[in-house]
Structure 1
């Protein structure tokens, strides 16, 4: 089982961003414009994700675009993100049944703020994840096909033995090309968790995902 971080293992990224806009007194939509449309914002976010920019670079650029204090901005920007209980519980049930679990995330950076650790998803061999694949560590980001292969390699599994869950449709086809079953997380978390439970009960996706 391969799970995205932001918006799958956590609450919705858009709701978090909207809460950030309110807390900073920004015009609705300003934060998303800075990330997704402003050329400097798009550039620094892409570079951050593949390890070519630091989180502090991101803080400075996005803070400048929004004309707000850049100090520890990533921490403030993700302050309303929380673990998604239904998805985490489904992953734990799969783990307890012997299924290997990986987190696959386009990175937010780790210094000075580590969002994975902050939300309890930066754990050792006795924790939830058998593998954590962050784009900044491998130098490529979703939807580059190589990052999905890195996840399979880390789990020592083939595509047909795994399922991948992501909230962005464009991130699914490269996984499907490797034979990975995919779930587009667009509904309520409980519905996605139920799909994972059904796959686990049927044993149709991960017949060889048993841990040694």
Structure 2
């Protein structure tokens, strides 16, 4: 019986994270894969992302680095990249139902640093979730196993009794190794159905 639900933020609690980045690239005339190419295929981009996620690089410096690699203005860049993100209402409704049924809930998010841009603003995470773990605030990041264990510890539930949900496939194996059930959230309807099944929500 699973009694803990751990959700990624961008792309799970929100609408499509990668879709938002692609839409930005199209708007800027850079091509829809521009941001993902910098984050995944540029050595400097990958290093900067890791450093901002675990708090070693300030958000402002990361924004400037990303702007230079993309060839765009740095001012307000992170907000512009993710401007299309909206709350995923079916997931938020699921969280409320899970809590009402007795499950503990948590957010586990790799962040783009703490600063003037706050993608979590307006979601009421502290009120809606039993634990909120943001990577730069704890000095750890997915897919390092320690941050998954930390999240379970904050919920007071063994990893083997937790369900972990993320829209990025490479973030799932560490959770599995700890004994968590995992859900790749690449389709809202199918993902919610799988979570409902695991948590035995009617």
RCO greater where, 1 or 2, for CA within 8 Å and sep 6 or more? 2
List aligned pairs for 1:58-207, cutoff 5 A: 58-117=62-121, 120-124=122-126, 127-186=127-186, 188-201=187-200
Runs of 4+ in structure 1 off by over 4 angstroms are: none
Task: Output one character per residue of 1:165-187: Cα deviation in whole Å (capped at 9) or x when no partner.
Answer: 1112221121112211111112x
| Match among 17, 20, 31 for residue 27 of structure 1 | 31
Q: 1:132: how far off?
A: 0.5
Q: 1:62: how far off?
A: 1.0
Mapped partners of 1:123, 1:159: distance in 2:
21
Mapped partners of 1:78, 1:183: distance in 2:
23
Q: Any unmatched runs of 5+ in structure 2?
A: none
Mapped partners of 1:175, 1:75: distance in 2:
29
Contact 1:87-1:192 at 8 Å conserved across structures: no
Q: 1:9: how far off?
A: 1.2
Contact 1:3-1:9 at 8 Å conserved across structures: yes
The corresponding residue for 1:210 is none
Contact 1:145-1:175 at 8 Å conserved across structures: yes
| Match among 9, 13, 24 for residue 9 of structure 1 | 13
How many residue pairs match? The answer is: 198
Cα distance change, pair 61–202 in 1 and its aligned pair in 2 (3 A): closer
TM-score between the two structures when normalised by the length of structure 1: 0.88
TM-score between the two structures when normalised by the length of structure 2: 0.92
Q: Secondary structure at the match of 1:103?
A: strand
